[in-house]
Structure 1
């Protein structure tokens, strides 16, 4: 009996009014490590949350066999303590709170020095993690920080972490719980090349310590320590395969793609901005520093109308801070020599004057974007540069929003609340929001995070088509070389705040 860690048999799983699974049967045995594969919306994240006990389960049976793992903690018969204490789920979005524990962080907070102080440091956050005393516990504070290369970030405030640094922190917090089951929802999302290469060894060390791992993963990025693979499609587990028998080529999604060029050309001619600028961006020796920490060190960058740039560099290199100077979110722009759209910062233009010329999407925007609007309302809000629609909808603009949804293949979610659709579709909604006003500059910061292969290819083709049909300027950030659109022909590479190429 103790060989079984978790078992669910012929169960129906519901969230609010939605049925996520019918007749769900899945079992995890001690010593097994599972990869969950499937296209976006197939049910990978929902299965992880089901195992974590987040959803309502009716019919069938659900069993957790963790009681013997607890040394000194009484476990009630309903198993709720078992789930909360011995299962750790690392989700794509964090749930950090202010020091006062009264409100969530907000989007621009990391760039405002007084507000950013209202945040725990990495050290504080990890020391607050509640762990369970179990025999043979391996993941001490020092071991965990060493594994995930966090010692150098201990004094850094959570709000100032890069996307990749945040991912490493969330994994560290999960390990410090000393779980029996570690659930990872697309853990490689947002990690730079070096950390992704190290991830195989990280998972190997975690599983060697006796923790069983279940992770949502790409067919192409399954760690060596994984012993079994489950494939999902439309809320059904279609295959459960031992790793030795797994052939990834049989599970590669159909990447056939087509772009309606005529419709895209029509959309790009709506509210077309006739303005031409000598300089979209011109930075001279830009220097950004917080306390003793230099974030950007004498950065020079010139972007002209129609340029298509890739902005590259490892996690923590300063990319997000650099983009915040362009997007109007960082007040330190006024202390530097920066020209945006032919105007020097600090000569009278407002943040909104800047934002109306820019279409922007980033992991941070996704993290903090309110989710209680419908997807159509979220996209229409791009006309007003607001985080959500705070005025009555405009029928003509809503119609244009729906056309952009069709172009991005997400029109089925038009009337659905943003919070109730898959994370990849949420990102596509924010991309449509960035595109809807036909801005002079598009800034796409890791836009393909969490998308499946077809979605990535379709978006890449869409960007290339937009670039072929217009004179839009583009800045594209990614940690994956294959995601960079073919239209990109210039590269700025950062490392430790300095331009290295």
Structure 2
């Protein structure tokens, strides 16, 4: 008979007057690994935090080893982690990553991993495992979103926990990194580590043995993985229809880059990149973690000062010829993991969406009647009306991400730059968003640049691919002869 290792007994929790966990009980036995699933806002993260002791609850969570109660070392890996500077203060801002002169106050990767840890051999092992050993002296601000996720995982694994709780740990990692992480976690699970993973219903890690499904703060079911059947994803956000959008009137190239090279110190990020995006084209931007995708996009969104020394034209105007960054941003709808990380979480949902009209991280002026109507329409479409006056800090990760997506769409932009927009969304929301993007493109012919580490998430409207490898760019056309996109083997000129 299996011995109980973790017993969750009648835990209930409230936050700001709302019940987020409702009388939940279950037992995890030795060698059992739990995945927690459910739609956005269902209570997944609250349950994980309750087990980790990070959320005040009624009821109890007990831990046993060899039938004896004990206090385990528990580490909780959050979906988003805030960086701190050398003074141990969080005061970084979004564009700071792309300002090479402002990285002096940032710890390097090795300094961060070595803080409060003297397991040198462990550090080297994990750096090699996640292919980060070439980045040891790189300031954290210069690491990509995926590389920061690896760093975050290593920090927690170095603690050698008894219970490891992961909140969407695979999100943001490229294919090879996800495979390597799953191999390592499977090995640790076999050695006795208890792993509790919040994850997607359609991407259950191999080491998982049991699945807990949450809904509205309640535990709907707890079954073995082989008995779990994911619910089919729906395809529309609401029955009220999409907010009114106007066809894009801009003609010509929205992006033109000639021999663009970007370097930070001794590190070459982009090498001789040539890229042209014509009005109405939809591009997928691909590449492994650290390939330079975010740096490339920062040149498009006017967030990188190195653009002025490069041969780059946006919306027909050469950078550095007198155009304002606000003129550029006014034509772009943008969302990214970094924007999400640095966005002011005290801002309300309504104000966050409204700020999209002015490309600010908060609303600092009054909306006119037409702008208010557009914000209200997107709130209704994404089923967010009930949370529009709450600060982002009180919302679930999926609600926050939907608000930032609405912020990108609200001004009917000429170009959509969507950097991993599905992060934080559940499977159903991902399917709905991809359907929405296809619908928007068909209705408006908006230009689009879309990135994701999951091939299945690429919208059908994508017609071209630009792939970064070691800082170099390769372009491909996309065929739609089958349901899945096929990349042609030959490279095509982008001019």
8 Å Cα contact 2:42-2:214 kept in structure 1: yes
CA distance in 1, matches of 2:80, 2:147: 13
Q: Structure 1: where are the runs of 5+ without partners? A: 70-76, 132-136
**Corresponding residue for 1:382?**
356
Q: Work out which of the residue numbers 190, 195, 199 in structure 2 matches 1:208.
A: 190
TM-score by length of 2: 0.90
Render the CA deviation track for 1:162-208: whole Å, top value 9, x for unaligned.
Answer: 11111111110001111111000111111112222333212112213
**Corresponding residue for 2:61?**
62
8 Å Cα contact 2:35-2:204 kept in structure 1: yes
CA distance in 1, matches of 2:51, 2:377: 38
- Determine if the alignment matches structure 1 residue 267 to structure 2 residue 244: yes
**Corresponding residue for 1:134?**
none
**Corresponding residue for 1:178?**
160
**Corresponding residue for 1:73?**
none
Render the CA deviation track for 1:336-378: whole Å, top value 9, x for unaligned.
Answer: 0001111110011111111111100001001111111211111
8 Å Cα contact 2:235-2:435 kept in structure 1: no
CA distance in 2, matches of 1:345, 1:247: 57
Q: Work out which of the residue numbers 206, 216, 235 in structure 2 matches 1:234.
A: 216
8 Å Cα contact 1:277-1:342 kept in structure 2: no
Offset of 1:296 from its aligned partner? Answer: 0.2
CA distance in 2, matches of 1:192, 1:19: 36
Question: In the superposition, relative to structure 1, how do residues 348 and 67 fare at CA in structure 2: closer, same or farther (>3 Å)?
Answer: farther
Count of aligned pairs: 475
CA distance in 2, matches of 1:294, 1:49: 40
**Corresponding residue for 2:227?**
247
8 Å Cα contact 1:358-1:439 kept in structure 2: yes
Superposition map of 1:98-109 within 5 A: 98-109=85-96
8 Å Cα contact 2:83-2:90 kept in structure 1: no
Render the CA deviation track for 1:116-170: whole Å, top value 9, x for unaligned.
Answer: 2211111001111458xxxxx9982233323333222211111111111111111
**Corresponding residue for 1:415?**
389
Render the CA deviation track for 1:404-457: whole Å, top value 9, x for unaligned.
Answer: 122233333222221211111211110100111111111001111121222111
8 Å Cα contact 2:263-2:269 kept in structure 1: yes
CA distance in 1, matches of 2:269, 2:368: 42
8 Å Cα contact 1:90-1:185 kept in structure 2: yes
CA distance in 2, matches of 1:253, 1:88: 33
Render the CA deviation track for 1:34-86: whole Å, top value 9, x for unaligned.
Answer: 1112222221111111111121212x3333448999xxxxxxx9x9xx57xx1
Offset of 1:257 from its aligned partner? Answer: 3.2
Superposition map of 1:324-363 within 5 A: 324-363=298-337
**Corresponding residue for 1:473?**
447
- Determine if the alignment matches structure 1 residue 94 to structure 2 residue 52: no
Q: Structure 2: where are the runs of 5+ without partners? A: 476-495
Q: Work out which of the residue numbers 76, 90, 111 in structure 1 matches 2:98.
A: 111
Offset of 1:392 from its aligned partner? Answer: 4.2
8 Å Cα contact 2:20-2:43 kept in structure 1: yes
Superposition map of 1:52-201 within 5 A: 52-58=52-58, 60-65=59-64, 82=71, 86-129=73-116, 140-201=122-183
Out of 331-340 and 402-411, give the one that drifted further: 402-411
Q: Work out which of the residue numbers 320, 330, 339 in structure 2 matches 1:365.
A: 339
8 Å Cα contact 2:213-2:222 kept in structure 1: yes
Render the CA deviation track for 1:204-260: whole Å, top value 9, x for unaligned.
Answer: 1221343210001122222222222211111111222233xx334x23244243776
RMSD: 2.6
Report the 3-state secondary structure (helix = DSSP H, G, I; strand = E; otherwise coil) of the residue aligned with 1:387.
Answer: coil
Report the 3-state secondary structure (helix = DSSP H, G, I; strand = E; otherwise coil) of the residue aligned with 2:344.
Answer: coil
CA distance in 2, matches of 1:121, 1:40: 34
CA distance in 1, matches of 2:18, 2:121: 38
CA distance in 1, matches of 2:366, 2:254: 33
Out of 154-163 and 194-203, give the one that drifted further: 194-203
Question: In the superposition, relative to structure 1, how do residues 333 and 256 fare at CA in structure 2: closer, same or farther (>3 Å)?
Answer: closer
Question: In the superposition, relative to structure 1, how do residues 284 and 260 fare at CA in structure 2: closer, same or farther (>3 Å)?
Answer: farther
